[in-house]
A and B are shown apart, each in its own frame.
Chain A
């Protein structure tokens, strides 16, 4: 039996000495393979006497089991070690930076974002969004809107004109989004509830005036819309847009050729902190829009009977309300395409304004 004990000892040493998975596999083949030491031993049982077999059989099988277990254990050990080695060799410097995803880098211009905000609010009040061309005729920009002949706005000082055509008529760049009022009323029977965002142009250039700017026009025409409704719409809009629970607004009588009565609207705000405007508090009144009941002559121009239909319209500067809400100091920067400005004042592409998630999140 010492023979088996010696064998076991020498086999165990070989198992323990195996340094990697390949070596332990070689040991396994040498011991348990077809020609393996223990396999040979088991084969030798056949030539033994029954008695010899009785003792040698269990002894060899026990040895086989032990060695098999030892090999399996060593194998597992070596695999663990191998995995650990591989993983160690695969280690990288995880402090290396990754790039910002494009959707985080990209920016939506404040004007587009604010138009989306406006759209979200007015959609909730049942308004549609209308548009019209930048290049207009004198008729749609002035005459149909009740601007008298000789009105100063019709002069080259205020309005951009194109060269006269063969009939001597000159097209112009619309000075307001109001021509779309006429286009809409011509194309569609009341009731009408539309807002009209768009580019407008005037011969003007300084820190608060730009030769190109953006206006939001609103128009409601039906058989009952009045100043009281207009006050409600504009108050609700301003509250929602500036995202404040309450807002003091002041409606002052004013004058526009295309509305009668006409009003200008101021909102109360606090401008005591430089670079910051707070609404719903403070001692300043800031003018933000003009509005009024659509002038009977404008309704007539659009083919509507002013004794049957009535309604209101308003206009405000999109750039201006964007500046008020988000704090850009200078209108001219809006059109300079300075990537630093767009990056700072712009919005992430997935920040889509909705009422259910809050306009600005």
Chain B
């Protein structure tokens, strides 16, 4: 919403400076987004051409001597070379001295030599001063224009323009008068009366209005003005409209725009001679069309409310008029419409049709129903003033039947809302102590009237604690007492509220994070400590990527994705990370290790959102580092890098890693021979790791050595809360541990994990650790065989082991492994 300072002062009597007005607007909730103080127009001076002589070397140029008053060039005439055809001795125009910035051509003037003649400034055209598009000649002012004074002041170009960002709850401030009311309430001056005199009219409006869609049109007022002369609107009106960025068209149209901004009251004018028969307000028929005033054709349907005549649709209700019945210079009889429209319907129609107009902006927020007829009268006055003509009586049709439920019913059937306001509510919600009289005064200045005067002035205790206010018709946003608290607070001043500490909890804080939150943090830090970079990737990924990783369900595909490659909620963190690895590789960074701890989506239910830590490594980005190094083999990443990451993350999260099993049944986007599932018991899957299936990588269009993992943080069982933080007693054996090596020849299919488990299980008391330290395959073993060498640590508790003990335990280990794997001890 834009307006000028002088326009504001039409409604507000004030001495306040522009700065104070701007600051106050922002602090009462009408945030000022831009101020143009028009300082750029200050340097232009009214000047008279004292003499005009032909330029010796150019046919179209003249050499002017210009008198710009005593303050310019010490009163001596200034020489200006000018190409304007209308430049002549005696012309009075607008002069710009060297150093002046000329906004219309975006140039700062300098003294120049034009075809050998020096020129010290210029005489400006209207376009150069952004007054119009006219560049035919220089500005030509009447003889009485005061030479030597400010041209901007003379022409009204010095009127500052203020733009506020209006919140959607304040339709009353879509008009300058409403903004003035708020400022007056905030103590910045006195609100001038906006009352509109009745129109002296004669005869009924010959055009009838019928409401076929009364649910969309609470009220409709129409008046005919005969014998008008439509032409350009007066300069003052054009100036104001241009200042706020509107193009003047003709007086009748400009009047509707002016009232729209002056009062927040949109109007429409029809050329009465182009209207056939009577008007009807109805829903458009499927397939009806309108060529609108913006020159575009609109396809309409029953969701759109229209005004039609016998010919068809002539206007889209509350949004835009039709070109056919538009007013131009030939218009002699004009129908002025001032109506009320259903805000929701206007909003939806406007959105569906893609039309943004000043009328829609106001109707979808809610136009003051009480001002429907005064708005029509105001426009009628302006029409008769500027275009002459004789008005008929207004025809007023109401859409909503009036009910009697004790509320006050307005002139258009609008029910005045009433709000009981306990005056202590302001302190309760804001901490502000405003006081009874001050609160009532603030609300009064905003148009909230106590329901009865005796209530407001009552000495009765209960009544004095609470006052029933009638909400003004221009404030559809005010529904309850909290709204009135806001009114009192913003006008009294938010700055008056001194910060007050929240009461302390009275104790040292305790743990505030949930186990899931704690584990997510720990997983992040643990993975980052393994040299990985944390990424945050999109929750939505391309459909093909989702499908390749077990997703792609229709229920998790967005109906309105922002683009095709952000269409499906991710079933896994891996596609996003792998695609990111691909992008990094394309940029020349092929060795990357990245992880993410975030949500994946199995269903659209709350419990379908999993908390996952996932990571990938590409190229040579192993734990020790990436790229070649004089001291490292520089191998590419593989399944065991991913396995190590997965276990590190699980361990950081507090999963019982000692009890976890690794099985071969990872999902099919993993390499079937180089991947695994990590389980706690047969059902509870805590994660997967491995290298990837070529088909999955192909679907993502990524290449290179890659491995990755995902662990499901939300699947890790909640740790048991123990009553004490005391750690178990440390029991150290005084007897030396013994290490024994064994090598078993087994089938190549045999899992080393089975050998380890069998060895560990051979004597649970004695075996404290089993390590795999060598794997060997070779011809000496025969095909399909391999040797797995393990180191077993035996920890005696009560005595040193004897040779007999060792033999017995060794035999048990060999027996256990052979039984479990079918292998034999290697000789």
Contact = CB atoms under 8 A, between A and B. Distances in A.
Contacts of A129: 512-514, 517
B275 interface: no
A107 B534 contact: yes
A337 B721 CA distance: 38
Contact of A162 (B556, B584, B594): B556
B725 to A, nearest CB: 20
A343 B608 CA distance: 33
Interface in A259-308: 260-264, 293, 295-296, 306
A226 B429 contact: yes
Nearest to A152: B347
Contacts of A228: 430-432, 497-500
Interface in A84-123: 96-100, 102-103, 105-109, 111-112, 116, 119, 123
B651 to A, nearest CB: 15
Contacts of B192: none
B499 A296 contact: no
A229 B555 contact: no
Nearest to A249: B499
- Chain A's interface size range is 35 or more
Interface stretch (A14-22, A24-32, A65-73, A198-206): A198-206
Interface stretch (A1-9, A39-47, A52-60, A153-161): A153-161
A350 interface: yes
Contacts of A116: 521
Interface stretch (B75-83, B164-172, B456-464, B688-696): B164-172
Contact of B509 (A126, A201, A251, A255): A126
Nearest to A226: B431
Given A100-B625, A203-B560, A233-B502, A106 B513 contact: no
A261 B489 contact: yes
Interface in B572-594: 576-577, 580, 583-584, 587, 589, 592, 594
Contact of B559 (A161, A250, A340): A161
A109 B559 contact: no
Contacts of A150: 344, 347-348
A125 interface: yes
Contact count band on B: 35 or more
Contacts of B580: 336-337
Contacts of B485: 260-261, 293
A310 B429 contact: yes
Interface stretch (B46-54, B536-544, B799-807): B536-544
B28 A337 contact: no
Contacts of B512: 119, 123, 127-129
Interface in B482-525: 482-483, 485-486, 489-490, 494-495, 497-505, 509, 512-514, 516-517, 521, 524-525
Contact of A229 (B351, B502, B505, B530): B502
A119 B521 CA distance: 11
Contacts of B490: 253, 261
A10 interface: no
A335 B536 contact: yes
A102 B623 contact: yes
B557 interface: yes
A347 B162 CA distance: 44
B533 A106 contact: yes
B195 interface: no
A232 B624 CA distance: 48
A231 B497 contact: yes
B482 A134 contact: no
A216 interface: no
A99 B529 CA distance: 14
A227 interface: yes
A346 B536 CA distance: 11
A250 B29 CA distance: 12
B236 interface: no
A313 to B, nearest CB: 13
A162 B489 contact: no
Interface in A307-354: 310, 334-340, 342-343, 346, 348-350, 352
B533 A343 contact: yes
A105 to B, nearest CB: 4
A255 B170 contact: yes
Contact of A131 (B26, B498, B517): B517
A124 interface: yes
Contact of B560 (A100, A160, A352): A160
Contacts of B500: 226, 228-229, 231-232
B536 A293 contact: no
Contact of B169 (A211, A227, A232, A255): A255
Interface string B552-568: 00111111111000100
A317 B26 CA distance: 22
A47 B817 CA distance: 74
B535 A109 contact: yes
A134 B502 contact: no
A203 B566 CA distance: 11
Contacts of B527: 106
Contact of B524 (A108, A123, A165, A229): A108
B374 interface: no
A264 B31 contact: yes
Contacts, number: 261
A261 B531 contact: no
A211 B566 contact: yes
Interface string A204-237: 0100000110000000100011111101110100
Nearest to B348: A150
Nearest to A195: B512
A310 B428 contact: yes
Nearest to A163: B559
A338 B502 contact: no
A212 B539 CA distance: 8
Task: Report which residue of B31, B529, B598 has the largest number of chain A beta carbons within 10 angstroms of its beta carbon.
Answer: B529
A165 to B, nearest CB: 8
B525 A337 contact: no
A163 B529 contact: no
A23 B810 CA distance: 47
A253 B486 contact: yes
Contacts of A264: 31
B536 A225 contact: no
B630 interface: yes
Contacts of B534: 106-109, 112, 342, 346
A125 B501 CA distance: 10
Interface stretch (B201-209, B295-303, B328-336, B599-607): B599-607
Contacts of A335: 536-538
Interface string A237-257: 000000000000011111100
Given A163-B555, A227-B429, A96 B599 contact: no
B632 interface: yes
A226 B486 contact: no
Interface string B410-446: 0000000000000000001111100000000000000
Contact of B486 (A105, A173, A262): A262
A211 B569 CA distance: 13
Given A160-B540, A162-B555, A342-B534, 19 more contacts: A99-B629, A106-B528, A108-B524, A109-B535, A112-B597, A124-B509, A134-B609, A155-B351, A170-B559, A211-B538, A212-B539, A227-B429, A227-B431, A227-B497, A253-B489, A263-B494, A295-B482, A337-B537, A337-B577
17 contacts: A98-B631, A109-B536, A112-B597, A127-B512, A133-B605, A149-B344, A152-B168, A160-B559, A162-B559, A228-B432, A229-B501, A231-B497, A261-B485, A337-B594, A339-B584, A340-B587, A342-B533
Interface of A: 96-100, 102-103, 105-109, 111-112, 116, 119, 123-129, 131-135, 149-150, 152, 155-157, 160-163, 165, 170-171, 173, 193, 199, 201, 203, 205, 211-212, 220, 224-229, 231-233, 235, 250-255, 260-264, 293, 295-296, 306, 310, 334-340, 342-343, 346, 348-350, 352
Q: Which 9 pairs, one residue from A and one from B, show the smallest C-beta to C-beta distance?
A: A228-B431, A253-B29, A102-B531, A261-B486, A337-B580, A349-B528, A106-B528, A255-B167, A232-B499
